[in-house]
A and B are shown apart, each in its own frame.
Chain A
């Protein structure tokens, strides 16, 4: 399959890029090793205060708890389905905390950690997966779009929104409270989609202030990254005419630093950046999935050693930046969150049946109003009538 060197078509791809499925390779931006050792990087080094580090830790612990509770709620039949993020906490908290209030996020359906950073009530995430609505938060108020299920479709919305920011004069003014950028999330599987590739082209053509944040968790349901790409994903960006960076997606410091720099570049009017957060989906694609059918437990065990939370905890402890009281307080907070989610999820009310007719259109049509009224009258013929 691979091209041979000396055949006139250039060198063997594997020689140039190395195996696609690796530990991330030497190009990986990393600021905190899995062993909790702090590294320094010539371009993306930052100083973090103890408070910031403890904040990252807390966010990741609580996000993981949200994910674990939601998975359990699905197992108990309280959610129809859940898209797990286990293992991807650092990628999401790092990216989410790099945002400014005026930036806008376009998520997929797995961005629970980014949603957490945007102040979305986790119960609103559960509501979507429980089936009481399609997402109940206000995208403009939170600057966080509704979850998009169609793979990669939101990347085009992100670019269009960024083009709107340009036209509004909110890019490159030098005013830190005004200049804005868009953060577009997607996964390695989505990188195969036409919409994602078209979004790269439009972003490059119009120099749109957008950061494409790909969480390469190695698997598109059962299809490994090798089936998606023969080269490391971040290197694709060059072909579209903008920079691509691979960052250790299990390193919250590195994802924060890289995303922060890429967002600032966009806000300054320098155009799009592709960030590949190299990580691993420790759980299933969704709760309907069985990853033991398609992947080796060795891989999972190997990635467990790169856990995004453990390395921060080790670093904090080793450097005397936390005490037991802090760790216990976070654990207690996680327990409270779990209890709140368990009770709150079950208490989410089902929508009124006739609400299905609301908001199909901004201007209701007569024919739809007639259907609604007809169904209401029909329900009236039963005991209990319209809810």
Chain B
């Protein structure tokens, strides 16, 4: 059945379906129960599945992730919610030292099928610690898989696929997209596999590579470029670890130009990895160096100037222009 839904609603529906399909799926986090989460992503689930499956937890991020580790060891599939990106750090040790390594440490005897949901990114006018993009910190950790959705349809399918995955998945939700746009969701469709990137707009002159909240900006940039006679191909990475570079490399071989854009700081960010791999694989196809457009290497600024920090359509197009200057 098809219906028009927001990303927030799509994630809620995806979580519900996962819980219906497998009674080992548990939700856990601060305020996820009666309140339905601060973004209402888990709205109504505790009412329908009970307090043993949608667990309101004490305010302690390491505690949430650490107890979820124990539940996973016991055969459950916990889905934990970190309320905001900047609050994940108290749980960072549990995520990178325990969640990521227990399967390896146990030589595969203990699985860690956990999903760590993190609303991430800026653009909502929030105070400090509520607008960060920590994806590279997790993508740099072997043992974790890191994905991010950019639209309601992906949100619906990807959350279910992440829950079904036997590896721990850091699931990044672009919070400024939660209620931004609606899309037609067909819950009978066959989704793309989870760890794949996808060309979301075909083009011939340059490749724009993005993910999560910046895909919408990249699409707008491509629309604007089209009015000026430039055809930009847009790739939504969707998966950050593992990176699915095949669509990216195929695209760059055709277009000869690549611009990577994300909200996170440029220095040592995902863009650096993508640029390095393009350079290694497509060196002789490139007409220009791979360029990066990201957040500046500053702490996330006060929200009144976050529009200057976040890459926008103009900064992306400026980078495209520079690519054509070579």
CB atoms of B105 and A146 under 8 A apart = yes
Closest chain B CB from A354 CB (angstroms)? 14
Report chain A residues within 8 Å CB of B104.
Answer: 134, 359-360
CB atoms of B58 and A156 under 8 A apart = no
A160 in contact (CB, < 8 A): yes
Q: Which of A133, A136, A164 has the most CB of B within 10 A?
A: A164
CB atoms of B107 and A358 under 8 A apart = yes
Tell me the bound Cα distance from A158 to B57 in angstroms: 16
Q: Give chain B interface residues in 30-72, CB to chain A under 8 Å.
A: 52, 57-58, 60, 62-63, 65-72
Tell me the bound Cα distance from A360 to B60 in angstroms: 28
Report chain B residues within 8 Å CB of A153.
Answer: 66, 93-94, 97-98
CB atoms of A363 and B73 under 8 A apart = no
Tell me the bound Cα distance from A266 to B138 in angstroms: 36
Given B63, B69, B110, which contacts A201 in the complex, CB threshold below 8 Å? B63
The SS class assigned to the A binding surface is helix
Tell me the bound Cα distance from A137 to B86 in angstroms: 37
Q: Give chain A interface residues in 135-190, CB to chain B under 8 Å.
A: 135-136, 138-140, 145-146, 148, 150, 153, 155-168
Q: Please encode chain A, from 346 to 387, with 1 for each CB lying within 8 Å of some chain B CB and 0 for all others.
A: 000000000000111111011110000000000000000000
Report chain B residues within 8 Å CB of A140.
Answer: 109-110
Given A139, A160, A358, which contacts B67 in the complex, CB threshold below 8 Å? A160
A198 in contact (CB, < 8 A): yes
Q: Give chain B interface residues in 138-186, CB to chain A under 8 Å.
A: 142-143, 145, 165-167
Report chain B residues within 8 Å CB of A216.
Answer: none
Q: Which of A134, A145, A160 has the most CB of B within 10 A?
A: A160
CB atoms of B105 and A361 under 8 A apart = no
Query: Interface size for chain A: under 10, 10 to 19, 20 to 34, or 35 or more residues?
Result: 35 or more
Tell me the bound Cα distance from A294 to B296 in angstroms: 48
| Nearest A residue (CB) for B72 | A160
Query: Interface size for chain B: under 10, 10 to 19, 20 to 34, or 35 or more residues?
Result: 35 or more
Q: Please encode chain A, from 303 to 336, with 1 for each CB lying within 8 Å of some chain B CB and 0 for all others.
A: 0000000000000000000000000000000000
| Nearest A residue (CB) for B143 | A360
CB atoms of A363 and B108 under 8 A apart = no
CB atoms of B66 and A359 under 8 A apart = no
Report chain B residues within 8 Å CB of A161.
Answer: 70-71, 73-74
CB atoms of B98 and A150 under 8 A apart = yes
B87 in contact (CB, < 8 A): no
Q: Which of A136, A199, A201, A361 has the most CB of B within 10 A?
A: A361
B283 in contact (CB, < 8 A): no
Report chain A residues within 8 Å CB of B145.
Answer: 361, 365
CB atoms of A163 and B108 under 8 A apart = no
Do A202 and B58 contact each other (CB < 8 Å), given the known contacts A136-B107, A153-B97, A164-B76?
Answer: yes
CB atoms of A139 and B57 under 8 A apart = no
CB atoms of B105 and A158 under 8 A apart = no
Tell me the bound Cα distance from A361 to B166 in angstroms: 8
Q: Please encode chain A, from 194 to 209, with 1 for each CB lying within 8 Å of some chain B CB and 0 for all others.
A: 1100110110010000
Report chain A residues within 8 Å CB of B103.
Answer: 359-362
Closest chain B CB from A158 CB (angstroms)? 6
B242 in contact (CB, < 8 A): yes
Tell me the bound Cα distance from A163 to B65 in angstroms: 13
Q: Give chain B interface residues in 112-129, CB to chain A under 8 Å.
A: 113
Q: Give chain A interface residues in 7-33, CB to chain B under 8 Å.
A: none
Q: Give chain A interface residues in 29-83, CB to chain B under 8 Å.
A: none
CB atoms of A165 and B98 under 8 A apart = no
| Nearest B residue (CB) for A356 | B104
Q: Which of A139, A163, A368 has the most CB of B within 10 A?
A: A163
Report chain B residues within 8 Å CB of A134.
Answer: 104-107
Report chain A residues within 8 Å CB of B67.
Answer: 156-157, 159-160, 163, 199, 202
Closest chain A CB from B219 CB (angstroms)? 27
Report chain A residues within 8 Å CB of B113.
Answer: 362
Tell me the bound Cα distance from A138 to B108 in angstroms: 10
Report chain B residues within 8 Å CB of A146.
Answer: 102, 105-106, 110
Report chain B residues within 8 Å CB of A205.
Answer: 57-58
Closest chain B CB from A121 CB (angstroms)? 15
Given B63, B110, B142, which contacts A156 in the complex, CB threshold below 8 Å? B63
B202 in contact (CB, < 8 A): no
Tell me the bound Cα distance from A157 to B75 in angstroms: 13
CB atoms of B98 and A198 under 8 A apart = no
B90 in contact (CB, < 8 A): yes
CB atoms of A368 and B242 under 8 A apart = yes
B260 in contact (CB, < 8 A): no
Report chain A residues within 8 Å CB of B109.
Answer: 138-140
CB atoms of B94 and A195 under 8 A apart = yes
Given B65, B71, B107, B108, which contacts A164 in the complex, CB threshold below 8 Å? B71
Report chain A residues within 8 Å CB of B52.
Answer: 166-167
CB atoms of B66 and A139 under 8 A apart = no
Report chain A residues within 8 Å CB of B108.
Answer: 358-359, 362
B9 in contact (CB, < 8 A): no
Tell me the bound Cα distance from A215 to B242 in angstroms: 42
Closest chain A CB from B70 CB (angstroms)? 2
Q: Closest 5 interchain pairs by CB?
A: A160-B70, A156-B66, A164-B74, A160-B67, A198-B63
Q: 19 A-B pairs, CB-CB below 8 angstroms?
A: A106-B70, A135-B106, A136-B107, A140-B110, A148-B98, A150-B93, A153-B66, A156-B69, A160-B69, A160-B71, A163-B70, A164-B70, A164-B71, A164-B76, A195-B66, A201-B58, A202-B67, A360-B103, A368-B242
Give the B-binding residues of A (Cβ under 8 A): 106, 133-136, 138-140, 145-146, 148, 150, 153, 155-168, 194-195, 198-199, 201-202, 205, 358-363, 365-368
Give the A-binding residues of B (Cβ under 8 A): 26, 52, 57-58, 60, 62-63, 65-76, 78, 90, 93-94, 97-98, 102-111, 113, 142-143, 145, 165-167, 195, 242-243
